């Protein structure tokens, strides 16, 4: 059942924020401008399946301040089950739009995650494309758990700089877990951008528009990285379809019962 008042909708056990694409930009910037400690999950099929299989991770996702429906399967699935149009709010669209708006509104941004090379390329790209944007740091954490001292140093750097938006590129589910652990500690709005960063800076290509429209963007990514992604996509996409069909049939039976009473 959709909770329209809270602008959330339950979809396959996940609480997904609903509304127009523009409303998501507004919500994120309301949090960022006020420097409210908060986090945004950009949910795709992979994240939804991860949440389905892990109750602790599901809690992290469902407690996010904003959870966007990234991917046409989620946007179309919401329409089929709940009966209303929902815009797709993809990380690959959201990231450049947020940077453009941050530049316009004179807000400060920080990039966290990814390799040193990715952060270097990101810095060069951002300074070239968004020359008026205020960046407060590009941090590539080590591939191991941070010590308490290292963690506190990162938190202090972000907070002392007056950062409004922290873009987190650690990959799912690591970035969502990190953001949840930082809520109440980092005084900014954190956004999990995952694979959107290398696409934005030109390290990877995005699927053509027609593939995006017909929910085939995953297939394009599989073509680019078959060795890494084929097992994940085969498993997650199959499980997603099973869960969706089950929920869809359940909703149809429920609708018929209501109509007959």
Q: What is the mean pLDDT of residues 54-63?
A: 96
Q: What is the mean pLDDT of residues 209-213?
A: 77
Per-residue pLDDT reduced to its tens digit, 213-242: 767 777 777 777 777 777 777 888 899 999
Is 200 a residue whose pLDDT tops 70? yes
What does R_g of the chain's alpha carbons equal in angstroms?
19
Residue 106 burial by Cβ neighbours in a 10 Å radius (0-12, 13-18, 19+): exposed
Lowest mean pLDDT among 13-22, 172-181, 182-191, 194-203: 194-203
Is 258 a residue whose pLDDT tops 80? no
Is residue 212 very low, low, confident or very high in pLDDT (cuts 50, 70, 90)? confident
d(CA 141, CA 137): 12
Q: Please, are residues 33 and 107 in contact by the beta-carbon 8 Å criterion?
A: yes
d(CA 138, CA 123): 7
Per-residue pLDDT reduced to its tens digit, 64-104: 999 999 988 999 999 999 988 999 999 999 999 999 999 99
Q: Give the closest residue to 104 by CA, choosing from 55, 165, 51.
A: 165
Cis before 228 (ω within 30): no
Is 18 a residue whose pLDDT tops 70? yes
Lowest mean pLDDT among 7-11, 93-97, 128-132, 177-181: 7-11
d(CA 4, CA 213): 26
The three-state secondary structure class of 138 is strand
Is residue 47 very low, low, confident or very high in pLDDT (cuts 50, 70, 90)? very high
Q: Give the closest residue to 8 by CA, choosing from 57, 43, 56, 36.
A: 43
């Amino acid at each position: 059942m959709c909770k329209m008042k809270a602008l959330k909708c339950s979809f396959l056990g996940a609480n997904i924020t609903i509304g127009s694409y523009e409303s998501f930009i507004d919500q994120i910037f309301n949090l960022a401008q006020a420097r409210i400690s908060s986090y945004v999950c950009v949910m795709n099929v992979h994240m939804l399946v991860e949440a389905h299989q892990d109750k602790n991770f599901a809690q992290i996702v469902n407690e996010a301040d904003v959870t966007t429906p990234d991917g046409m399967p989620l946007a179309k699935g919401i329409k089929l089950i709940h009966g209303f149009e929902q815009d797709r709010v993809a990380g690959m669209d959201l990231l450049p739009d947020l940077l453009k708006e941050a530049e316009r509104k004179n807000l400060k941004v920080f990039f966290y995650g990814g390799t040193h090379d990715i952060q270097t390329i990101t810095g060069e790209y951002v300074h070239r494309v968004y020359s008026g944007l205020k960046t407060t740091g590009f941090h590539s954490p080590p591939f191991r758990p941070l010590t308490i001292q290292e963690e506190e140093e990162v938190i202090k750097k972000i907070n002392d700089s007056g950062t409004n938006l922290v873009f987190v590129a650690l990959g799912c589910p690591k970035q969502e877990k990190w953001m949840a652990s930082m809520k109440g500690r980092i005084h900014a709005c954190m956004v999990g951008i995952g694979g959107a960063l290398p696409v934005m800076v030109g390290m990877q290509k995005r699927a053509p528009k027609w593939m995006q429209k017909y929910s085939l963007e995953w297939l394009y990514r599989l073509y680019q990285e078959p060795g890494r992604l084929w097992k994940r996509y085969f498993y997650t996409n199959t499980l997603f379809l099973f869960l969706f069909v089950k929920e869809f049939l359940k909703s149809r039976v429920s609708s018929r019962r209501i109509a007959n009473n």
